[in-house]
Amino acid sequence: MELLTEGLDLPTRQIVRDIIKIVKSGEEGTYQLPLELTGEDYYKHDLIVFFDWNFNWKEPNQKYFVDGNYDDKTESTGIVLFMNKDYYPESLYDLIADLNDIVRHEYEHHMQFLGLRPDEEYSDLPLSKQPKSYKYYLQKHEIPAVLQGFRRVMKLKNQPLDVVMDDWYSRTFTEKGMPKKSYEKLKTELKNEYEKRYGKKST
């Protein structure tokens, strides 16, 4: 199982490189990857990525908005990116880290769908029926995906889990979206899960 986990670092890096290559080209739009860059149909484990982006993000003091999701009907990951040109290209450093987190997270859901993870880590529960609070991230299928995304950033930036999680919270949520008190509960739970899986190397 660990070999399958570690083996996803390379395809994660490749997907992020492909996305950054498109962003640097300045050609806004929707892309099917890797097809439209290399002519290949899939990334490792037959994953397709649909990437949609533009420079139309105008929220004050926000460098960009980026999000991802996994669709098991098409066995594909969708990545949406809206960038604020006022912060470009300085924003690429943070963006690369966020993309590594998101891509690795969604790759984990792909592996769950393919049956390459324990059965209890797969869920076909519709999003509408999943928790809306911080408990969303503590579902059995979300915990491993969240932690794998964090681990990818920990390797990339050589930072401990605490720093990666705090940075993720500050860039992803507002106080209204997830109150600090809820985040502290989530952080404690995720750190416990991390230590159960990987040992006490989180700080």
pLDDT in tens, 70-115: 999 999 999 999 999 999 999 999 999 999 999 999 999 999 999 9
pLDDT in tens, 37-50: 999 999 999 999 99
What is the structure's pLDDT at 163?
97
How many angstroms separate the Cα of 60 from the Cα of each of 63, 87, 112?
A: 9, 11, 38
Whether 81 and 23 have beta carbons less than 8 Å apart is answered as yes
How many angstroms separate the Cα of 81 from the Cα of each of 55, 126, 155?
A: 9, 24, 23
Does residue 68 have a pLDDT over 60?
yes
pLDDT in tens, 5-37: 558 999 999 999 999 999 999 999 999 999 999
Give 202's pLDDT tier (boundaries 50, 70, 90).
low
How many angstroms separate the Cα of 96 from the Cα of each of 34, 51, 111, 113, 126?
A: 18, 14, 22, 26, 29
Q: What residues form DSSP beta bridges with 110?
A: none
What is the structure's pLDDT at 16?
98
The domains of the chain are located at 2-198
pLDDT in tens, 146-201: 999 999 999 999 999 999 999 999 988 888 899 999 999 999 999 999 999 999 76
Does residue 1 have a pLDDT over 90?
no
